[in-house]
């Protein structure tokens, strides 16, 4: 069996508030194989972004370990490229400067940077926008730049935190297809956080459904639907219905807790 790429081993994460502690993650065990496209699915507050941030190294587990290629994660690093929902492009840099930034940090020669940036601009359909600033781009275009910026690093792992959550439905589908094409071509391991059931089924090899507080793994599901997937097909919709029930249970708990918290206030 292939070496597991990302190993999440007994991870707990507790956030200490002034009045109460929130157990964001509880005893998470998850092994992700190289090249796998995994979606973390669940309602707000289920800890899916916390788990992603832990893999990224932004916020380390309270206990337990995350290993990537056998090495314990203790800091952010370019081998785990992150795409944020808010794009997080540097607004003072043009599109091409944003994409080049990671390569400049690596200290590559200018000619290599230029040719790699060029190739990525074309791959993501950004060539005409290379000298624009992010403020002059649509949300979809910004997210393309953010993806190009991470691809420039050639990281084997892509971490994506609801990257298409703020986009309209058509742009979203467009970028999902683009992402699947890139994934198929480059064979990256993708960990993708979403609260959209349909998006998870459309994209993933494997869907990990998480519970609302404490965040645990409720269901770990391997998908055998052939690609390219048709959201109108019967299989797709059957899966959507059963996953919908699972997620709604957690959504319901989220809702009840919110009501309870409001009543306390």
Instruction: Return residues touching other proteins (CB under 8 A).
Output: 56, 58, 75-78, 80-82, 84, 86, 88-93, 101-102, 105-106, 133-135, 149, 153
Count of residues making up the chain? 265
Bond before 14 cis per omega within 30 degrees: no
Rank residues 58 and 115 by Cβ distance to other proteins and give the closer one.
58
State which residue, 54 or 243, has the beta carbon closest to other proteins.
Answer: 54
Query: In the Cβ-directed half-sphere of 219, how many Cα atoms lie within 13 Å?
Result: 16
Q: Would you say 105 or 228 has its CB closer to other proteins? A: 105
Q: How far apart, in Å, are the Cα atoms of 180 and each of 23, 176, 214?
A: 33, 6, 32
- Provide the minimum distance between the beta carbon of 198 and other proteins in the complex, in angstroms, as a whole number: 27
Given a contact cutoff of 8 angstroms between Cβ atoms, the answer to whether 204 and 198 are in contact is: no
Q: How far is CA 178 from CA 124, 125, 205, 231, 246, in A?
A: 8, 10, 16, 17, 29
The rounded distance, in Å, linking the Cα atoms of 137 and 83 is 17
Which CB sits closer to other proteins, 80 or 172? 80
Widest CA span in the chain: 62
Q: How far is the CB of 136 from other proteins (least distance, A)?
A: 9
**Which residues lie across from 8 on neighbouring strands?**
30, 66
Return the number of the residue (99 or 239) whose C-beta is nearest other proteins.
99
83 touches 157 (CB < 8 A): no
CB of residue 231 vs other proteins: minimum separation in angstroms?
A: 31
Q: Tell me the closest approach of the beta carbon of residue 40 to other proteins, in angstroms.
A: 18
Task: In angstroms, give the least distance from the CB of 98 to other proteins.
Answer: 9
**Nearest approach, Cβ of residue 135 and other proteins (Å):** 4
The residue (of 93 and 225) whose beta carbon lies closer to other proteins is 93
């Amino acid at each position: 069996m292939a070496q597991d790429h990302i190993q999440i081993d007994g991870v707990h994460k507790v956030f200490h508030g002034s009045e109460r502690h929130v157990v964001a993650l509880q005893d998470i065990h998850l092994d992700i194989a190289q090249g796998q496209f995994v979606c973390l699915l669940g309602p707000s507050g289920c800890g899916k972004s916390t788990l992603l941030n832990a893999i990224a190294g932004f916020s380390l587990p309270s206990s337990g370990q995350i290993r990537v290629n056998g090495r314990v994660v203790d800091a952010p690093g370019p081998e785990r490229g992150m795409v944020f929902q808010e794009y997080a492009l540097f607004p003072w840099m043009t599109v091409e400067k944003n994409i080049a930034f990671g390569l400049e940090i690596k200290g590559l020669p200018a000619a290599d940077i230029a040719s790699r940036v060029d190739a990525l601009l074309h791959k993501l359909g950004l060539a005409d926008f290379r000298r624009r600033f992010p403020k002059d781009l649509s949300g979809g275009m910004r997210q393309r730049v953010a993806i190009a910026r991470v691809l420039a690093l050639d990281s084997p792992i892509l971490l994506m935190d609801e990257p298409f959550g703020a986009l309209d439905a058509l742009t979203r589908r467009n970028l999902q297809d683009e992402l699947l094409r890139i994934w198929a071509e480059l064979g990256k391991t993708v960990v993708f956080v979403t609260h959209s059931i349909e998006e998870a089924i459309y994209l993933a090899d494997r869907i990990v459904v998480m519970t609302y507080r404490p965040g645990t793994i409720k269901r770990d599901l391997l998908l055998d639907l052939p690609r390219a997937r048709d959201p109108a097909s019967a299989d797709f919709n059957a899966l959507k219905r059963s996953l919908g029930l699972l997620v709604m249970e957690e959504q319901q708990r989220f809702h009840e807790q919110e009501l309870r918290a409001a009543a306390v206030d």
